[in-house]
């Protein structure tokens, strides 16, 4: 599957490594985040594989699916497999 990354039009107001608050030429604001994936892996019997991770924002453990940002030049499928291996220890 061919994928063309979205290139936002406008200027950055502020940003961090994950998100950019931007405004277009009409002054309309929007949030842009880079390309990435969320992986919802299913076992043969239909169970969803998830991990438990501590969330500082919620001050408790939460269930997560694997996901993360696409590296430069990396296909989305490669990102999905990498994140699945890094976060859940599984391969697709």
The Cα–Cα gap between 66 and 55 comes to 15
| Mean pLDDT of all residues in 48-58 | 93
Q: How confident is the model at residue 58 (pLDDT cuts 50, 70, 90)?
A: very high
CB burial readout 48-59, b (16+ within 10 A) else e? ebeeeeeeeeee
pTM above 0.75, yes or no: no
Domains and their CATH numbers in the chain = 11-88 (3.90.79.10)
Closest CA to 66 of 76, 81, 47: 81
Task: Give the contacts of 2 (CB within 8 A, at least 6 positions apart).
Answer: none
pLDDT in tens, 3-40: 666 677 888 999 887 788 999 888 888 888 878 899 99
The phi and psi torsions of 61 (rounded to 5 degrees) equal -75, 145
């Amino acid at each position: 599957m061919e994928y063309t990354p979205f290139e936002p039009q406008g200027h950055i107001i502020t940003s961090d490594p994950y998100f950019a608050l931007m405004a277009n030429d009409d002054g309309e604001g929007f949030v842009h985040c880079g390309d990435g994936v969320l992986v919802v892996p299913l076992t043969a019997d239909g169970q969803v594989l998830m991990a438990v991770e501590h969330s500082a924002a919620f001050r408790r453990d939460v269930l997560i699916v694997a996901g993360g940002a696409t590296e430069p030049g990396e296909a989305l499928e490669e990102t999905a497999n990498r994140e699945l291996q890094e976060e859940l220890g599984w391969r697709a």
